[in-house]
Amino acid sequence: MRTLIIVIAVTLASCVFAQHPSYDPRYHTVAEVIEEITALADTYSAYCHLESLGHTGVDSITIWGMRISDNPTADEDETCIEFHGGQHADEPAGVEVCMWMINDLLHRIDAGDSIAVKWWEDYEIWIIPQMNCDGRIMCLDSGYTEWRKTKRDLDSSGTYDAYTDGVDPNRNWDYMWEDYTATDLDNTKGPYPFSEQCVITMRDFFIRERPLYIVDYHSPDSCGGNKLWICWWFSEGPYTGWGPDAQNNWREIRDDLAAAILDETGEPYEGAASYHTKPKLQTWTYYELEVVVS
């Protein structure tokens, strides 16, 4: 009997942490991300601190943020830069970039790398590797490989169905939410602005920390190449073209950053312009907090 219980327990545990076979096992599952950052935060507690920033809406999974800075448990008066991945559940590349950066930075600080140590001393670097954890579980663990949105039973059917359920966390912000009328199921904006817990978590974090610069990683199959987007570009109304801030300040920074990011074949990223017409993380954060998000 005892053996049977152990077998059942092991089987259940491996089900919980199993990854759907259509995904490359090199991608981290939600559980693997949490396990790895917890271990790193224990090992390198002098360099970083993990903080629970909130929870997801259905499965109540902690949305963890890692602050990498000297005096890592203190909120010091230092410039804050934030990186996050996993807003869209079926775009795992951003999560992997965040995990790679966490590992790389901590190991370089530990090895005394002069640039990494200077960043660690001078800045507060926040990395939030997975924002939409519930959606990632639907996609990576549960086999809905095209699940992009949050986990929300929109039609109250008692089940979670790909496409008809879920809210696009990148259409759930309250800037331009009323005006946004797209009806495609991939971009469902939700029952009301900030209906999604992972969106609330990010909003509250941005208000609290006011980063100087934010990077919101995506890896869609639809944007025509590797691009670095900034706000913003007016496509209609009395003004058409770049906003003055983008024109005078951020375009040049965008171009330098894009040129410095190379893809796996050595080609640089392209600079791109975001419209201001969608209720996205990027547009809200720029409009409300004047923080530029790429």
Binding site for Zn ion (CB under 5 A): 88, 91, 218, 220
Alpha helical stretches, state H, 54-180:
93-110, 114-122, 133-136
Query: What is d(CA 45, CA 47) in angstroms, rounded to the nearest whole number?
Result: 5
Q: Residue 219 CB, nearest distance to Zn ion (Å)?
A: 7
User: What is Dmax (Cα atoms) for the chain?
Assistant: 76
Query: What is d(CA 263, CA 113) in angstroms, rounded to the nearest whole number?
Result: 24
Q: Between residues 88 and 278, which has the closer beta carbon with respect to Zn ion?
A: 88
Q: Between residues 84 and 276, which has the closer beta carbon with respect to Zn ion?
A: 84
Query: What is d(CA 170, CA 91) in angstroms, rounded to the nearest whole number?
Result: 13
Burial annotation 253-286 (CB, 10 A radius, 16+ → b, else e): bbbebbeeeeeeeeeebbbbbbebbbbbbbbbbb
Report whether 281 contacts 87 (CB < 8 A).
yes
Q: Between residues 6 and 223, which has the closer beta carbon with respect to Zn ion?
A: 223
Query: What is d(CA 37, CA 66) in angstroms, rounded to the nearest whole number?
Result: 8
Q: Between residues 91 and 134, which has the closer beta carbon with respect to Zn ion?
A: 91
Q: Residue 49 CB, nearest distance to Zn ion (Å)?
A: 28
- Residue 227's beta-bridge partner residues? 270
Q: Residue 88 CB, nearest distance to Zn ion (Å)?
A: 3
Residue among 123, 98, 86 nearest 37 (CA) = 98
Q: Residue 218 CB, nearest distance to Zn ion (Å)?
A: 3
Q: Residue 119 CB, nearest distance to Zn ion (Å)?
A: 27
Q: Between residues 91 and 96, which has the closer beta carbon with respect to Zn ion?
A: 91
Q: Between residues 88 and 203, which has the closer beta carbon with respect to Zn ion?
A: 88
Report whether 126 contacts 209 (CB < 8 A).
yes
Q: Between residues 20 and 218, which has the closer beta carbon with respect to Zn ion?
A: 218
CA angle 256, 219, 22 (to 5 degrees): 150
Q: Residue 52 CB, nearest distance to Zn ion (Å)?
A: 24
Q: Residue 196 CB, nearest distance to Zn ion (Å)?
A: 14
